[in-house]
Amino acid sequence: MDRPLRRLFLFFALLFVALILQLTYVQVWAAPDLKTNPANTRAVAEQMKLERGVIVSADGVELAVNRQEGEFFLREYPQGDLVSPWLGYNHQRYGRAGVERVYNEELSGQSGLLGITGYWNELLGKTRRGADLKLSINMGMQRVAVEALGQRKGAVVALDPRTGAVLAMTTYPRYDPNRLAELWSDINSNDDKPLLNRAIQGLYPPGSVFKTVVAAAGLETQAVVPETTFVDTGSVAAGGFVVNNYGGNVYGEHDFTRAFASSINTTFAKLGVSLGADTLATYASEFGFGKDLPWPLGGSKSSFPDAGDLDKAHVAQVAYGQGEVLATPLQMALVASAVANGGNIMRPYLVAQVLTYHGQVLDETEPSVWLRPISAETADTLRSLMVKVVESGTGTQAALSGVKVAGKTGTAEVAQGEPHAWFTAFAPADDPRVVVAVLVENAGTGGSVAAPIARKVIAAGLGL
């Protein structure tokens, strides 16, 4: 064989080997990821020949069901956009999102014993059916949360602090998963991002709701007690940066209980500087900042700047939730839940049970502790401080007749537009069963905008 032919032979031989290696990679190593990739619509179309499991709320409301057309089982969503931000969709053309994506193996009958049973049914000529999901969502609370938020850009999250169960979660704007084919182009070109679940993906300066973390650090380290006295003149300088109280208010001599209830920026700036960047960063981390959310639905990681990057001016700013602190509404709900649950933050969850179509429980979520940022004693003290916020401070619009509510307002200044309105709360304060976090973008003060929303959701959760 002459040299040119030998080179040509070697070239094609190498191409053949490369092709074999690529096919081996795709068929063996990459196959599981490709199969579950939500963008792999061929896999979605194939699985739509299977009867997918239904999804129901904790109170038995159907959220996702099937409609058979020929050989395909098409998904329908009876609640429309009420639950779409986290329920997601299963669509032949657009793939999957939300619970439909994360729990696809269970819903399509591919996981564990259900998968073996499904293949056996196929051999017998029976229709293969996936597992059903029972969620932790209370649709009564969900509807109230959606109505209370209205058409204001933002998010609402409600948890049971004792277990971590998500009781309600909504965001606006939303989309109707029944109309994806009709609206897909508009949804994706909309600057308000209807596909974004702001409750777990939106990152916002928390403003004064972050003072709960700073107060916890001060109480745990004994830098302050509720009776510690401060003097406010309306402003304080820190490293060349001047901190002012919201609205230009001047409070004079006051104790730490009043500082928390009235959300006095200057006092928290002083406390933050005295604690130092390292202590603030440590406690932010203990509450979950900088950590991935501990559940399969994912979400954005809330952040606190590196202590080494904070000079005195920046320490003063982060101490009242401004500067480079960013948080999701779910993260701030978890912060409040630590206070409500004796210092423990439970792992949040949305799926309570995985069931066969006969109702047999295949898997059930067992509540577990995620973090313990503070002691029970500090939690009790913070609880009393938060009660004062609602009784006589900035959060009086969250008050409920006959029920003691604990809360914290936040009015987070942003570069453009009105401040973001925040409120975190739990009730009953003496035996908390519901924790709520509310965020409304560019809406004004937390006490006037977010607190009334939280009050309605808490009332629904307590059956009032």
pLDDT tens digits, the chain, 464 residues: what are they?
556 666 666 666 677 776 676 656 555 555 455 455 555 555 666 677 788 999 999 999 999 999 988 888 899 999 999 999 999 999 988 999 999 999 999 999 886 555 445 444 544 445 568 999 999 999 999 999 999 999 999 999 999 999 999 999 999 999 999 999 999 999 999 999 999 999 999 999 999 999 999 999 999 999 999 999 999 999 999 998 999 999 899 999 999 999 999 999 999 999 999 999 999 999 999 999 999 999 999 999 999 999 999 999 999 999 999 999 999 999 999 999 999 999 999 999 999 999 988 889 999 999 999 999 999 999 999 999 999 999 999 999 999 999 999 999 999 999 899 999 999 999 999 999 999 999 999 999 999 999 999 999 999 999 99
Structure-derived torsion over alpha carbons of residues 114, 120, 125, 129, reported in degrees to the nearest 10: 0
DSSP annotation of 162: T
Long-range contacts for 101-106 (Cβ within 8 Å, ≥24 apart)?
Answer: 101/38, 102/296, 102/297, 103/133, 103/296, 103/351, 103/354, 104/36, 104/47, 105/36, 106/53, 106/130, 106/131, 106/133, 106/354, 106/362, 106/363
Q: What CATH topology corresponds to 141-175+194-349+367-461?
A: Beta-lactamase (3.40.710)
Buried b (16+ CB within 10 A) or exposed e, 318-334: bbbbbbebbbbbbbbbb
Counting Cα atoms < 13 Å in the Cβ hemisphere of 4 gives: 0
Beta carbons of 353 and 361 less than 8 angstroms apart: yes
Structure-derived torsion over alpha carbons of residues 193, 194, 199, 205, reported in degrees to the nearest 10: 30
Q: In Å, how far from its chain's centre is CA 161?
A: 14
Q: Residue 353: how many CB atoms within 10 A of its CB? A: 18
Helices 376-392/329-340 angle, 10° precision:
110
Contacts of 188 (CB under 8 A, 6+ apart): 195
Going through 85-218 in order, the beta strands assigned E by DSSP cover 89-91, 95-97, 132-135, 154-159, 166-172
Task: Give the pLDDT of residue 461.
Answer: 97
The residues pairing with 180 across neighbouring beta strands, listed in sequence order, are: none
Domain boundaries, the chain: 141-175+194-349+367-461
Longest CA–CA span in the chain (Å) reads 99
Contacts of 353 (CB under 8 A, 6+ apart): 133, 134, 361, 363, 364, 365
Determine whether 117 is exposed, middle or buried from the number of CB atoms within 10 Å of its CB (0-12, 13-18, 19+): middle
Contacts of 453 (CB under 8 A, 6+ apart): 145, 148, 149, 156, 423, 438, 440
Task: Give the pLDDT of residue 227.
Answer: 97
Question: How far is residue 341 from each of residues 216, 249, 397, 426, 448, measured CA to CA in Å?
Answer: 14, 33, 23, 10, 27
Model pTM? 0.87
Which residue has 């059930």 as its token pair? Answer: 364
Rg of the chain over all Cα atoms, to the nearest angstrom: 26
Task: Give the pLDDT of residue 41.
Answer: 55
Determine whether 115 is exposed, middle or buried from the number of CB atoms within 10 Å of its CB (0-12, 13-18, 19+): middle
Annotated catalytic residues are 208
Task: Give the pLDDT of residue 72.
Answer: 84
Which residue has 């001599």 as its token pair? Answer: 253
Nearest CA to 250 out of 267, 225, 226 is that of: 267
